[in-house]
Amino acid sequence: MNILGLIPARGGSKGIPSKNIVALAGKPLLAWTCEAARATRSLSRVVLSTDDPKIAEVGRAYGVEVPFLRPADLARDDTPSVDVTLHALQWLSAQEGWQADVVVLLQPTSPLRSPQHIEAALAMLERTGADTVVSVVEVPHNFHPWSVMKPNGTWLEDFMLPPNGTDRFRRQNLPRLYARNGPAVLVTYAATLQSGHSFYGKRVVGYVMDRWSSLDIDEPVDLELAEFWLAKTKGR
């Protein structure tokens, strides 16, 4: 099969200016995803989709393909990732005659995701017969819906109550829940994307990652956490 690794990295960012190429442990943030993707043997191609020439330059420097610059109308704050992905698929098909069978979406804001994570998610797609594999992280007990509260005027009230008789303050009673971790890895079939205009088919499987590998760079403090973890694990 033709397996496309797609890295979406637009130029605009608000929380961290030039986030996709901000420095992290001596390299641009984008570089960590480029290197992980290039080290993943199952990927047939690794393509960067960006509207920004500076980001394109960084991508090329780290060995990924940048065959086009994304149109401005696909680089807005509210542009869905599925539209960006469909544009890449259509461009590669129309301009190069290359058809992807499987797409692996790799967000550059997940620098601690490894080639092993990508390979494992791809293997899970084949092994389970799923339409989509999405990376997830287990929801900590303090963020569980039974622990969360919402404002109601001056006061707080429960967001969600457990079944009657359930002791929600006993951690062992909390049902295990998972949250998408960016996602760091999202694997789906091109046919699923094209037929349903969605990454998610009817059969979705979660690929569970640990909390540190799931770190998503959204705010400056996330960069500090990533720096800490990379320094701590250097040489392992």
Catalytic site residue 113?
Answer: no
183 prior amide bond cis, ω within 30: yes
pLDDT digits (tens, 9 = 90+) for 147-165: 999 999 999 999 998 888 7
Mark whether 56 and 119 lie in a shared domain: yes
Q: What is the rounded distance in angstroms from the CA atom of residue 77 to the CA atom of residue 145?
A: 28
Mark whether 75 and 123 lie in a shared domain: yes
pLDDT digits (tens, 9 = 90+) for 71-114: 999 999 899 999 999 999 999 999 999 999 999 999 999 999 99
- Look at the chain and report how many structural domains it folds into: 2
Q: Is the pLDDT of residue 211 over 90?
A: yes
Q: Is the pLDDT of residue 235 over 70?
A: no
Q: What is the rounded distance in angstroms from the CA atom of residue 133 to the CA atom of residue 187?
A: 5
Mark whether 152 and 43 lie in a shared domain: no
Residues contacting residue 30 through CB under 8 Å, at least 6 positions apart: 7, 9, 20, 21, 48, 55, 58, 59, 62, 108
* Burial of 223: CB neighbours in 10 Å, binned 0-12, 13-18, 19+: buried
- Residues paired with residue 3 on neighbouring β-strands, in sequence order: 102
Question: Contact, 134 vs 180, CB < 8 A?
Answer: yes
Q: Is the pLDDT of residue 60 over 90?
A: yes
| Mean pLDDT for the stretch of residues 42-67 | 98
| Residue range(s) defining the domain that contains residue 155 | 140-176
Mark whether 65 and 22 lie in a shared domain: yes
pTM, two decimals, is 0.93
Q: Which of 7, 113, 22 is nearest to 63 (CA)?
A: 7
Averaged confidence pLDDT in the chain: 95
**What is the DSSP track for 158-199?**
ES-PPSTT--TTSGGGSPP-EEE-S-S-EEEEHHHHHHHSSS
Mark whether 72 and 187 lie in a shared domain: yes
pLDDT digits (tens, 9 = 90+) for 3-43: 999 999 999 877 798 999 999 999 999 999 999 999 999 99
Active-site position among 38, 41, 45, 168: 168
Mark whether 32 and 148 lie in a shared domain: no
Cα–Cα distances in angstroms (integers) from residue 210 to residues 21, 90, 173, 180, 190, in the given order: 25, 34, 21, 12, 28
Mark whether 58 and 158 lie in a shared domain: no
Here the CATH number for the domain that contains residue 216 is: 3.90.550.10
- Residues paired with residue 204 on neighbouring β-strands, in sequence order: 132
Mark whether 88 and 187 lie in a shared domain: yes
Mark whether 115 and 193 lie in a shared domain: yes
Mark whether 130 and 151 lie in a shared domain: no
